[in-house]
Amino acid sequence: MGGSGIIGKGKTVQNYDHVAAIEQDKEISSSVDEMKGLDDGGPFWRVPTGRRDGLISKSSEVISNIPPPFGNFTTLQTLFSNQGAHTIGIAHCSSFSNRLYNFTGTGDQDPALDSVYAANLKANKCKNINDNTTKVEMDPGSRNTFDLSYYTLALKRRGLFESDAFLTTNSDALSMINQLLQGSLDFYPECAKSMEKMGMINVKTGSNGEIRKRCAFVNIARAKYHGILVVIALCS
């Protein structure tokens, strides 16, 4: 989802004295703002402000804490309960090409993947198993729109990842998918609740981390070296 640029601009023009006052309190501000999925048609949810960010960012921590594209339902249940899900975006062929060309190591195709969809991917997108650069829509036809088409595609066995196929193998998950598609569960409020829950994971308090003056930069990571201002950019 977009919006980081808008947040950055807002923090750039805000009163730094106010930021310092929040830091001195060493607590998360109780004030809240309204955020939404900006231009993707997504829902609104409440986001606490005055959040503290870490002082370092490690790619290894990202890889080990997000649901992998090959995760089975048990893995998804563990990680999605902490992290969320996807309904928009793109992926590289390397995330799922084994489903097209070498699913069990014998040059076969994943039988859980719709054969027509697989043939289309082979012909027009991932033309060989070594393609690491081509990008494919995770939600074909509406990759920039926040909607329910992901679930419709999952039921048609047209989920891009192996993890998408696993989602329909659990009776509780399958029941929830059907409820969302039939309207007995409202997708937007359910998603908003999930995002608010995700925002409370590993919240930093006290002296742990800092409130950044600019979202993409650590406050203390500025130093002059031979007359040149060196800025270390770390994204949390």
Q: Is 86 annotated as a binding residue?
A: yes
The answer on 224 and 158 residing in a single domain is no
Which pLDDT tens digit goes with each residue over 11-40? 555 544 444 444 444 443 443 444 444 445
185 part of a folded domain: yes
97 compared with 45, residue with greater pLDDT: 97
Residues 145 and 34 in one domain: no
Instruction: Check the annotation: does 67 bind a ligand.
Output: yes
The total of other beta-carbon atoms located within 10 Å of residue 204's CB is: 16
Tokens, residue 45 = 């949810």
75 a known binding residue?
Answer: no
Query: Which two structure tokens, joined as six digits, stand for 106?
Result: 């014998």
Q: Is 236 exposed, middle or buried (0-12, 13-18, 19+ CB in 10 A)?
A: middle
Question: For residue 126, is it within any domain?
Answer: yes
**Any binding-site annotation on 108?**
no
Q: Do residue 214 and residue 142 come from a single domain?
A: no
Number of H helices, E strands in the chain: 10, 6
Amino acid (1-letter code) at residue 113: L
What secondary structure letter does DSSP report for 218? E
CA distance 21 to 204: 17
Query: 87 labelled as ligand-binding?
Result: yes
> Any idea which residue has 């308090």 for tokens?
205
**pLDDT single digits (tens) 61-101:** 777 777 777 777 777 777 666 444 556 788 999 999 999 99
Q: What is the pLDDT of residue 153?
A: 93
Block residue for tokens 């999925």: 37
Per-residue pLDDT tens digits for 121-136: 999 999 999 999 999 9
Q: What is the mean pLDDT of residues 48-69?
A: 78
Maximum Cα–Cα distance across the chain:
64
By percentage, how much of the chain surpasses pLDDT 90? 30
User: Which residues constitute the domain of residue 110?
Assistant: 73-198
- What is the tens place of the pLDDT at every residue in 105-121? 999 999 999 999 999 99
Say if residue 188 is in the same domain as residue 215: no
What per-residue confidence (pLDDT) applies to 12? Answer: 57
Residue 224 domain-assigned (yes or no): yes
- pLDDT-derived band at 228 (thresholds 50, 70, 90) equals very low
Tell whether 77 and 49 lie within a shared domain: no
Does the reported pTM lie above 0.75?
Answer: no
Which residue has tokens 């609104």? 44
Please tell me the total count of domains within the chain: 2
